[in-house]
Structure 1
Amino acid sequence: MSTLDVGDARLAYTDVGSGTPVVWLHGSGPGATGMSNFGGNLPAFEDYRNIVVDLPGWGSSPRPATDEPLIFHAAERVSRALTALGIERAHLVGNSYGGAVAMRMAMRHPDRVDRLVLMAPGGVLPVDAPAWPIGLDRLFAYMAAEKPSRAAMAEFVRLMVFDETLATESLIDERYESSLRAHPELPIPPNFGDLTPDLALIAAPTLLVWGREDQTVPLTWAPKILEGIPNAELRVLPHCRHWVQYERAPEFNHIVREFLQGGAAAAPSEG
């Protein structure tokens, strides 16, 4: 793992493979890091240059003091990181919070974004959204705990997958230990920021991927994003919750590779 100076912050990242750049942006769950979210997917993308980022305040990236909404802050630092790496344009793949960061980058820096893959992204709430879904409720409770417990982490991880046998003891241990190293000190709920007003600014072809049984960012929240982004399509995987890239890795890898190669959500023809 390497680090980049992006002005007022340092970002940790992993850079593997060669070819067209793909930037991987992780979620905001406790213990999340770029490699914990996407390390298992990278072998399927070895013909791309994969930049796997630890977003500010997670993993090995320190959290700078800021009152700016987290999505806005992170998106600008990732954009600066691409400049530092000499990358003019890239595909962006983000899940949950990372998906929101990817959307913000596509809104603010459209010339830098080729294609977007968003797995149950945050940053857009339906007007009639009810109380927090159970996954977000457990996430915020873990963040708020003075001394978070492994039992609480186990409960959180099991909510992320439909097949709870995938919530292995080693995965729970990994996420728990990571959360203790970089436990975010944030207001609860955090000030993530609202992307709703600017969805129409996203010009990039966009693929939304959702687990049908997601209990964190529910599928019922998808239509607002699908309708707001001009060139977007939605794929829904059954028997799957929030961690699509982990729980349904083979299907996810196939769908995303097809999309990045231009096999889905092609730009509309003129005529």
Structure 2
Amino acid sequence: MTEATTRTFGYDETLRELPTEQGVLRYHEAGEGPPLLLLHGSGPGVTGWRNYRGNLAAFARHFRCLVLEFPGFGVSDPTDEHPMAAAPQAVTRFLDGLSLGRVDVVGNSMGGIVAANLAIARPDLFRRIVTVGGIGRSVFSPAPGEGINLLMDFTENPTREALVRWMHSMVYDPEVVTDEMVEERWTQATDPDTLAAARRMYGRKALAASMAAAEASDRPPYWSMLHKITAPTLVTWGRDDRVSPLDMALLPMRTMPKAELHVLPDCGHWVMIEQKEAWESAVLAFLTRPGGS
């Protein structure tokens, strides 16, 4: 292997800050080339760094990687908004603040939903899109899935045992969840401000109220507008995902005009961690393919 293929990036070396009128956005930057925006998912103790730190070495050989930390998860400055509502605005503030034009984007779970919503509203933002589980709607499986129910259990009663049960639901092989990962997540997930933001998203009453509001709204759900996303999109999924079951992929696969689906076996929701090399290979082949608009 060359030095470039074995290069690892440290937290402090890549951490950056972008002051904005609504607080400081923090992010990690590595590599040179066309900009690649990486958006993290939700859940106890999540950060963009923890989602993607293992993938930076592969992607930074081709792209200027920008791992944005969403407000409400304990790294970027918080806002008064619901974290899901604050996320799209954070993305546009971030892109404007760095004077970036069209970018490629990778979105894991919640990050994929954020990217999809932005692509529907702003077709000019993204050249190519990669999602990691999460977008679409359950067709055959009950909702919410097992992983979401365990996430609500932890949010309501944050014990270490509940955190481990939730983390195990995120993967196919429980050995992927190390003691170090548990400690990292536990420290951040139990921070009072971060926990309060999580309860606004995943407390049982909060989630029920959000679902009821969506059903009463005249605005169509984002998954019914996926056909409006015209950017080439790679939908990646773990075959054994217990958070966002694979049948959710049927809707984007059928309705998005330039979507292709890549399913990884023996893999849960954390595709970029559990099937790291296979996922990186598929994503890089897609993002570096000639002829992208």
Q: Which residue of 2 aligns with 1:125?
A: 137
Q: Which residue of 1 aligns with 2:240?
A: 213
Structure 1 position 3, deviation (Å):
2.6
Structure 1 position 27, deviation (Å):
0.7
SS at match of 1:116: strand
Rounded to whole Å, the distance in 1 between the matches of 2:231 and 2:278 is 23
Q: Does 1:86 align with 2:96?
A: no
Q: Which residue of 2 aligns with 1:150?
A: 160
Rounded to whole Å, the distance in 2 between the matches of 1:234 and 1:6 is 36
Q: What does residue range 229-268 of structure 1 map to in structure 2 within 5 Å?
A: 229-262=256-289
Q: Which residue of 2 aligns with 1:56?
A: 71
Q: Does 1:7 align with 2:34?
A: no
Rounded to whole Å, the distance in 1 between the matches of 2:177 and 2:137 is 28
Structure 1 position 9, deviation (Å):
4.0
Contact 1:150 1:173 (8 Å CA) reproduced: no
Q: Does 1:138 align with 2:150?
A: yes
Structure 1 position 56, deviation (Å):
1.7
Greater fraction of residues in helix: 2
Contact 2:137 2:249 (8 Å CA) reproduced: no
Q: Which residue of 2 aligns with 1:165?
A: 175
Contact 1:211 1:240 (8 Å CA) reproduced: yes
Q: What does residue range 97-116 of structure 1 map to in structure 2 within 5 Å?
A: 97-116=110-129
Rounded to whole Å, the distance in 2 between the matches of 1:263 and 1:246 is 27
1:187-236 deviations in Å (ceiling 9; x for gaps): 53544873123212211100011100100000011101212211101011
Size of the aligned set, in residue pairs, is 261
Amino acid paired to 1:82: L
Same amino acid, percent of matched pairs = 34
Q: Does 1:96 align with 2:106?
A: no
Structure 1 position 130, deviation (Å):
2.3
Q: Which residue of 2 aligns with 1:65?
A: 80
Rounded to whole Å, the distance in 2 between the matches of 1:230 and 1:71 is 26
Structure 1 position 58, deviation (Å):
1.1
1:30 to 32, 44, 48: 44
Rounded to whole Å, the distance in 2 between the matches of 1:212 and 1:29 is 20
Amino acid paired to 2:87: A
Contact 1:72 1:104 (8 Å CA) reproduced: no
Rounded to whole Å, the distance in 2 between the matches of 1:248 and 1:128 is 25
Structure 1 position 72, deviation (Å):
4.6
Contact 2:140 2:247 (8 Å CA) reproduced: no
Rounded to whole Å, the distance in 2 between the matches of 1:226 and 1:168 is 34
Rounded to whole Å, the distance in 2 between the matches of 1:152 and 1:63 is 25
Amino acid paired to 1:11: L
Q: Which residue of 2 aligns with 1:175?
A: 185
Rounded to whole Å, the distance in 2 between the matches of 1:237 and 1:14 is 27
Amino acid paired to 1:154: V
Contact 1:143 1:186 (8 Å CA) reproduced: no
Rounded to whole Å, the distance in 2 between the matches of 1:103 and 1:168 is 31
TM-score in terms of structure 2 length: 0.83
TM-score in terms of structure 1 length: 0.89
Contact 1:6 1:77 (8 Å CA) reproduced: no
Contact 1:72 1:101 (8 Å CA) reproduced: no
Rounded to whole Å, the distance in 1 between the matches of 2:50 and 2:23 is 22
Structure 1 position 73, deviation (Å):
3.2
SS at match of 1:66: coil
Structure 1 position 7, deviation (Å):
3.1
Structure 1 position 125, deviation (Å):
2.6
**CA distance change for structure 1 residues 263 and 215 in 2, over 3 Å: closer, same or farther?**
farther
Contact 2:139 2:248 (8 Å CA) reproduced: no
Amino acid paired to 2:189: S
Q: Does 1:227 align with 2:241?
A: no
Question: What's the RMSD between the two structures over aligned residues?
Answer: 2.1
Contact 2:41 2:111 (8 Å CA) reproduced: yes
Q: Give the stretch that moved more between structures: 230-239 or 179-188.
A: 179-188
1:117-159 deviations in Å (ceiling 9; x for gaps): 001124x4346762421101111222233xx111111111111
